[in-house]
Amino acid sequence: MKIVVALFALFSCLLKAETLTFVAEDLPPYHYIDESGKANGALVEIVNALAMHADIEYTIELYPFARAFKLLNAKPNVLMFSLLKSPSRENQFLWLGELIHNKAFLVALKENNAELANLAQAKNSTVGTIRGYYSERYLKNAGFEEGKNLSLSVKYQSLWQMLFNKRTDFVLTNAVSLNKELGELGYSVDEIERRLELRDFPNQLHLAGNLALDPSIANKLKQALDSIKANGEYHQILTRWGLD
């Protein structure tokens, strides 16, 4: 029995000492790989700041959303930034603090003259979003069907290409990342417009942890995030990125 207890204590110590991995997807200006091949973005800077305040060893890795989400589910020392807090995810993860919030819209090419008074009217068109996002569940719950009026892409690049190639009519997105995403693809934000705000769509992006994350580490990260918000560092970062 003593051997079992000792092994458990040793395992716990090793787990606590393990480097944390913060994962996210390629989603500028929040988190993306810059020209030098490094993770950059407003929320990358925020993670760097709170990790320094929490005095923890960590790495930051960017993956496609589905892989990042799978790692968050599977590994105790993996945290995801930023994850949309939705009702279906409420009890699946530790929610360590809101990093940013934004609004959701259906966006169309300006030359598309379709008027939308509500989401139901978009069912006669094709709406695009990212596979695995909460927006996929949101649209399916609203009655959209893949292959009929719902188009799912793996990355935002193909999502916008589908719109500009007129293979979809609308994109469900937020307004914050439009300039950078479109600019990278050679498109102009002047060619599109917000057609419908989805007011019931969750808008809080959080730092999320696996339920098995060490409670002491979770508390450190919560307190660190509170600290950088209180001392102004958090708002300075968002202001630098035009997000405050």
Q: How confident is the model at residue 215 (pLDDT cuts 50, 70, 90)?
A: very high
- Segment 222-231 shows an average pLDDT of 97
At residue 38, φ and ψ (nearest 5 deg) are -105, 155
- Segment 166-193 shows an average pLDDT of 88
What domains does the chain contain, in order, with CATH numbers? Answer: 16-101+203-240 (3.40.190.10), 104-197 (3.40.190.10)
Is 15's pLDDT higher than 50? no
| Cis ω before 135 (30° cut-off from 0) | no
Q: How confident is the model at residue 235 (pLDDT cuts 50, 70, 90)?
A: very high
